[in-house]
Structure formats: C-alpha cells, structure tokens
Amino acid sequence: MGRALRGQLARELVQILKRAGYRISECSGEENYCLDLAARRDEHTIFIKAVDNVDYFKRECAEELRALARTFSASPLIVGKRMQKGELEESIAYERFGIPAVAPRTLYDAMLRGRYPLVYSKRGGLYVKVDGAALRRAREELGLSLGELAEKVGVSRKAIYAYEKEDMEATLQTAIRLEESLQAPIASQIDIFDWRPLEGEQEYRRMPHGVLARKVFKKLSELGLKALGLRYAPFDIHVKEFRADILAEETGKHLEKRVETVCKLAELTGTEPVVVVESERLQVNEVKIVSVEKITKVKNAEDLESIFEIDLKAAKEA
C-alpha cells in the first residue's frame, strides 16, 4: 500500500477513534510495521493495521500483531478497503490469518453506533452466528417442532438442534430463511474486538532483526527473562518482567523519530521505553539510553533494575 493511501486511511481511522473517546498513538514511518495505530480507552487497547488491500497483509506481520495483542491484552484489527476479490462490504466481518478485518465504515458503526456485523466471511462463503436462545424462543412461540422448522427452512432437524445449541453456524441464506419463517431476528452480533488467539497457537518465538537487537535478546533469554523478539514493530524487544520496550539502535539514523514513536506507544500501553546503543555518547532527550556492553555484563536479571532504572517488583505487579 502506498504511503499516501495508507496515510489517508490512517487519518480516517484516527478521526473515528477520537470521536469514540480513544487515546491514540500513531506508529508511522515504516511501511512494514505490523500496526499503524494503537488506541486505548479505559482498559480497552486496540492495535490496528491500516491497509488498502487486506490480502497484502503478510502472514509474518499477522503473527507478530497477534503476539503483541496477547502480550498487551489488546484487540488486533485490520482495517482495509478491499481484497483481491473486490471491495470489503460494510457490516461484514472478515478475517486474515486469525485477525478480524473490516471496512472503515464497519469500524465506525461498531464504535460510534454500537452496531456490530451480523455476517462474517470465511472460506466457503458468508455465515451467521445464530443466537440459539432467540431461535428456540421464536420456534416455540409459533408452536413449531425441530422437524417442522427444518422442513420449512430446508435443512435437517439435526441442523436446527445444532443452531439452538450454538454448535454450528448457519450460512447467510439459511439464516435469512430462518428469520423469514420465524418472523424474528436470530443472528448474534459479531464483536470484532472480542479476539482470542488461534486454537493451539504456539508462543511466538522469533529473533529480532539487527546484530545489536539479537545480542540483547540472547542475553535477556539467558537470564531467564520472557523476551519477545520483534521484526515488524516500532521497538525490537518487549521484556515482560520489566514491562520494558527496547529499541536497539545501531546507526543512529532516524533515531529521534523512532524513539518518539516508541515513547508515545509506551505511554499508551503503560510500559517503559529503553534505547540500547553501542555507545552511550549517543543521547536522546527524555528516554533511558543504555550501552549494550552494560547489558552483556549482567549476571542476573535483578542487576538490570539499576541499568533500566525500573523497579522489577513494581513492574511485575503493574
């Protein structure tokens, strides 16, 4: 997606989020970040990737976005205009590599009007999550048996039973026939923010990019810390025990812009930004600068408290 188009979409999303009362951090500057916006209201955090074509969002970026969402208890979301097959339709929830994907208008309706999609798209077509209690109530009010309703709709009695138990989703056409036969709504809204990791998904384990970041990541892992290595995020490593976001900078190129992005994101998520460099002679205002040499000489995790200037016990309790 071109920078101009991505920027235009991001600005549109920023306005929606602001109207909905969210605080926002923009992760700008890099085309390949796995997120473009982070937003928070009360205890709800959302990580958003803005794309023109949802199908261009890479699997590697999706895996990292899911890992960040798990780490920060956030809702990951892809907002785009189209797919390879055509435009993203309003009021339909899509999915890309286990992450909900919607059109901008769908996000607007959910955030500002409380109207969530009733239909979702997956391989094979469009489907509806049936409100089993509503279906059963409407059927019994009309005095219909499972078999009689099944005959009217053109499905098996077993299917109607499964819909009422919410063990099976219905195709869009079947859901329409159900509502026409019962003269009552039976579809459940799809909460695009109620995200869960993929079933059986393993913990994300990747080395970050860059020699310096890899050196720091290796040391943190040796100390027994839960370090999340990142390749498509504004920072390179997240250290769970310290609630620290580490940016390992080798060249100093664009450092101030990257630090600004990481600091704003850390303020939103309640973490501490730390910049690791080859030499502490490199200075950046309002952020902790640490030389990689100090980190590699550490013998145990507790020694990092003074280096990071973070209280380990307080960070664990946060």
**Is residue 2 scored above 50 in pLDDT?**
no
Window from 22-31, 220-229, 268-277 with minimum mean pLDDT: 22-31
Ordered domains of the chain (ranges, CATH): 3-87+94-112 (3.40.1350.10), 127-182 (1.10.260.40), 211-317 (3.40.1350)
Asked whether 65 and 49 are in contact (CB, 8 A), the reply is: yes
Q: Which of 202, 155, 204 minimizes the C-alpha distance to 181?
A: 155
Please give the backbone phi and psi of residue 284, each rounded to the nearest 5 degrees, phi first. Answer: -135, 135
Hey, what are 154's tokens?
């053109």
pLDDT digits (tens, 9 = 90+) for 53-87: 999 999 999 999 999 999 999 999 999 999 988 99
Distant-in-sequence, close-in-space partners of 232: CB < 8 Å, separation ≥ 6: 32, 33, 34, 60, 61, 64, 65
How does residue 119 score in pLDDT terms, banded at 50, 70 and 90?
very high
Where do the H-state alpha helices sit in the chain?
A: 3-19, 59-72, 104-112, 132-141, 146-153, 157-164, 172-182, 211-222, 255-269, 292-296, 304-308, 312-317
How does residue 3 score in pLDDT terms, banded at 50, 70 and 90?
low
**Is residue 282 scored above 80 in pLDDT?**
no
Q: Strand pairing of 99-102 and 237-239?
A: unpaired
How does residue 288 score in pLDDT terms, banded at 50, 70 and 90?
confident
Q: Which of 125, 117, 112 minimizes the C-alpha distance to 100?
A: 117
**Is residue 130 scored above 70 in pLDDT?**
yes
Q: Strand pairing of 37-41 and 23-26?
A: antiparallel
pTM (2 d.p.): 0.91
Window from 65-74, 157-166, 190-199, 218-227 with minimum mean pLDDT: 190-199
**Is residue 164 scored above 50 in pLDDT?**
yes
Window from 9-13, 68-72, 224-228, 276-280 with minimum mean pLDDT: 276-280
Distant-in-sequence, close-in-space partners of 85: CB < 8 Å, separation ≥ 6: none
Q: Percentage of the chain surpassing pLDDT 70?
A: 91
Query: What's residue 61's pLDDT?
Result: 95
Most distant CA atoms of the chain, gap in Å: 81
Average pLDDT, the chain: 90
% helix / strand / coil in the chain, to the nearest 5? 40, 25, 35
